[in-house]
Amino acid sequence: MLDAAPIRTDWTREEAEAIYNKPFMDLLFQAHTVHRQYFDPNQVQKSKLLSIKTGGCAEDCAYCSQSARNGAQLSASKLIEVQRVIAEAKKAKEGGATRYCMGAAWRSPKDRDMAALEAMVQGVKDLGMETCMTLGMLDEEQVFRLRDAGLDYYNHNIDTSERYYSEIITTRTFADRIDTLNRVREAGIKVCSGGIVGMGEKQLDRIDMMLALATLEVHPDSVPVNMLIPIADTPLANVEKLDPIEFVRSVALARILMPKSHVRLSAGRTDMSDEMQAMCFFAGANSIFVGDTLLTADNPEEDKDQQLFDRLGITAMAAGCDGSR
């Protein structure tokens, strides 16, 4: 057996660019080889995502219908009740999900909401599920409170490259995102961080986004790779659709640069053919969100995912199993 690909955090742009631009079959072969060295290639993690507070966000993310600034006019809601979150998590577990992700449309949580967030984490943990939250930027005290409540993962996507960042978001900086990621990791919470491709960025931006994650002091435990879902009335509503091969290249690059991370095939799967998703799994994606909604966007229904899994011979990772070899 070949030696496993080393875990590196010193990748250069030249190396990453050369990998991304390999002949497609060579790129897929390398990514799949790396994937097999660290994971069972026929297992995929199933997670469920619930919006616990929708709309009215103060950020101006150009892709997002939940921004109060960009014209999508999605009605703002209050933080939902703790017991409802736990009830939805129980349903998700019965449907085969092993990780439960809770997302709120905030720039950052307010102190008055922290007790409810802690109760949500504790309640979902009591079901035997892994917990993940995405709440925007966190200060040190908030990080410690969530950690002490038992939060397993914190999602905080960097969205795109540092160069292209201000074209997508102006209400915070790329450095703000990195600061929160470092704060979370240093507190002992696992990091979930990826981005979105197909937002009108250049190929080098997709490479630099993955490179920024792969050169963190510790790689994210989970790397969501989202394909833009253009939403009416947002600034990116009419952006040109990304070539599917470019998307698969992004997945493959994530797998090669971050061999032990779960690479999650996230938003945009409703626009992907079964064959495109299968190619992404071959390239190293080994995590998906299940359920017909991702926050406010559509997602394939669970029976459609299961039909694809059956055709490909893929099984879901068991609770408490990270799928690694």
Nearest CA among 166, 263, 168, 173 for reference residue 210: 263
Catalytic residue among 64, 185, 249, 255: 64
280 is catalytic: no
- Residue identified by tokens 């050169």 is 215
Catalytic residue among 172, 206, 264, 269: 264
Backbone dihedral region for residue 268 (phi beyond 0: left; psi -120 to 50: alpha; all else: beta)? left
Catalytic residue among 8, 13, 36, 61: 61
* 280 is an annotated ligand-binding site residue: no
Catalytic residue among 101, 172, 177, 255: 101
Radius of gyration, CA atoms only, the chain: 18
Catalytic residue among 99, 132, 206, 269: 132
| Per-residue tokens: 79 | 């933080």
321 is catalytic: no
State the pairing for strand pair 190-192/195-197.
unpaired
Catalytic residue among 57, 99, 255, 269: 57
* 132 is an annotated ligand-binding site residue: yes
192 is catalytic: yes
* 64 is an annotated ligand-binding site residue: yes
Strand partners, 159: 195
Other C-beta atoms within 10 Å of 243: how many?
A: 11
Nearest CA among 280, 246, 288, 318 for reference residue 35: 280
Catalytic residue among 8, 107, 147, 192: 192
Query: Alpha helices of 70-202 — where are they, by DSSP H?
Result: 82-94, 114-126, 140-149, 165-168, 174-186
Strand partners, 194: none
Please state the residue numbers annotated as binding site for [4Fe-4S] cluster. 57, 61, 64
Catalytically active residues, by annotation: 57, 61, 64, 101, 132, 192, 264
Annotated binding site for [2Fe-2S] cluster: 101, 132, 192, 264
Summarize the annotated binding site as residue ranges: 57, 61, 64, 101, 132, 192, 264
